[in-house]
Structure 1
Amino acid sequence: MKNVLTILLVTILFSCSNNEKIKEGIGQVETQSIDENKIKVLNMATFHMGFTNDANSVEYDERNLKNKKEIHSIAKLLSAFKPTVIILESSPEYNEKLQKEYKEYKNNPKMEFKNPSEGELLGYELGRISNVNRIYGIDHKMGYNYRLIDSLAKSKNEKIYLDFMDYYGPISETKYENGNTLEKLKMENKPEYLDYLIAYNADIMTHISTKNKFEGADVAAKYYQRNLRMYSNLNKISLTQNDRVFILMGSSHIAFFRDFMRRSPKYNMVDVFEYLK
């Protein structure tokens, strides 16, 4: 009787173990299937190469022939991704104008722009050599007060904020200024720098407030809101599993998109350093 019970117990345990393995196997197959069906995205951060209203800007001569040559070389590297759609930091309301101008550039790559930005310099050129037909802007402007600290009463946490703001983050200012265009873009896309930008643009503001109020947190919330609305604009664009999406935007926006897409059931981010070599 004892032997029978032992055999029965072993059989039950073996059966349960197999069932768990089967469930695991099914889960793995489903996950792999979902991953294979995700839309490939190359999510690339850039500094603003032309005029910008942003609080932070980089000294860069967008009309310098050497710089333009470097940018076109980078476009050639990125073309290995084989994009089918290009996304830029431009408002959707200008999409018709954007697409018209891009088409003109494809027909005449020597055309001059009044105020060229990274969109025209890099985005258009990548699209042209990759024969991309679809290009969209997804930006969403919102007002928020980065000078909030100047108008607030002294806060016991103000020193934490100021110390952080004085810290330049994982990028060496001298190395950045002396770097060529490719080296600058590599630094802009460092994961630790992108994490720093989320804290710099939003999270650190939570240290600024007056009694019983949340001024800093509210400013941070607006920056999150802006990026979520930009992400919503992306999600309004009709895409299929066959599309390969190249996104080119300012580094802080890419930092947020990197977080959003990391958890997304729809998108599969490709490592930008596979192409920035």
Structure 2
Amino acid sequence: MPIPKYIPLIAFSLLLGSCNNKQSAAKQKKEPIVEEVAPSAIQVLNFGTFHMGYTSDSKTIEFDEYDKKNVDSIHQIAKKLARFKPTVLIVETVPDYNPTLQKNYATYLSDSTSTFEEPNEVELLAFEVGRLSGTKEIWGIDHKLQYNYGIGFEIDNAIDSVTLNRFQSDPFAAIPNLNLFESGLSLPEKLKRMNHPKVLDLLITANADILTYAGTEEGFEGADEAAKYYQRNLRIYSNLNRLNLKKTDRVFILMGGSHTAFLREFMERDENYEMVDTFNYLN
């Protein structure tokens, strides 16, 4: 019986298909399998603010924490920051206050219309960021340590009273376009300026380093006071490191600007943390 002429064509097609399948399989074997890589460091949004309620700071920014427009503006900022999706909130309260802090936060999560007797940036901003992000954990890491900002005016300064007085009379002279006390600034603009790297550097100088220009003939009164502020912030950092944070955590830290500045310095040199760009969440 004669073989139909179309059989060889079918056989060739099958052979070609078989070759293609083998080549495809070989190609698939060569392609690397992409796996999700766990972050090598804890992601941190390190955010500085002025104190929105009572504060003992020597210089403060006027702010009415009970004004509805202010609260609405804060919540708009919280909405932007919540895009970071933190798993942990860190705020400027002492660890001993954690049970109360966590109780207040739970109350806010169950009813965001809850009001607090003396609200500040913790209740107004951190709580709202956490609510929008579904964050469960919140911790305070502050450490109280008294020191004297005004030591340079209380001693017979034999180091350099000219430099000290010039700086303290106008700390923003070198960066006037970032002055936090400029009149008419909106809340978002104030917070953008607060988190600018040049302002964070300035806050370390204003709160500590400038005091190295104050001291008696053979004394180090200013430097010793500045050392206390470094010590306080190092202890705050130590409190942060006491927390059982995981590499997969995303941590939102809300502190007064000078603490944010010190934490930035410490975390930049610490392989356990990786700070994200704050302005990615403010713009």
TM value normalised by structure 1: 0.85
Q: Cα offset for 1:155? A: 2.0
Do structure 1's residue 191 and structure 2's residue 194 form an aligned pair? no
Q: Cα offset for 1:54? A: 1.5
Residue matched to 2:60: 57
The whole-number CA distance in structure 2 between the counterparts of 1:231 and 1:96 is: 20
The whole-number CA distance in structure 2 between the counterparts of 1:171 and 1:223 is: 25
Residue matched to 1:106: 109
Distance 1:66 1:73, change over 3 A: same
Do structure 1's residue 259 and structure 2's residue 262 form an aligned pair? no
Given residue 273 of structure 1, which amino acid in structure 2 is its aligned partner?
F
Distance 1:174 1:141, change over 3 A: closer
1:118 to 108, 117, 121: 121
The whole-number CA distance in structure 2 between the counterparts of 1:174 and 1:200 is: 13
2:222 to 203, 207, 216: 216
Contact 2:61–2:181 (CA<8 Å) still a contact in 1? no
1:244 to 243, 250, 256: 250
Q: Cα offset for 1:35? A: 10
Residue matched to 1:225: 231
The whole-number CA distance in structure 2 between the counterparts of 1:132 and 1:171 is: 38
Contact 1:35–1:268 (CA<8 Å) still a contact in 2? no
Q: Which runs of 5+ in 1 are unaligned?
A: 1-33
Large movers: runs of 4+ above 4 Å: 171-175
The whole-number CA distance in structure 2 between the counterparts of 1:107 and 1:35 is: 32
Count of residues in Structure 1 that have an aligned counterpart in Structure 2: 244
Residue matched to 2:208: 202
Residue matched to 2:43: 40
Residue matched to 1:11: none
Q: Cα offset for 1:94? A: 0.3
Contact 1:176–1:184 (CA<8 Å) still a contact in 2? no
Q: Which runs of 5+ in 2 are unaligned?
A: 1-36
Q: Cα offset for 1:156? A: 4.3
CA deviation profile, 1:203-260 (whole Å, cap 9, x unmatched): 1111101122110110010000000000000000001111000000000000000100
Helix, strand or coil at the partner of 1:57: coil
TM value normalised by structure 2: 0.83
Pairwise CA RMSD:
1.6
Residue matched to 1:72: 75
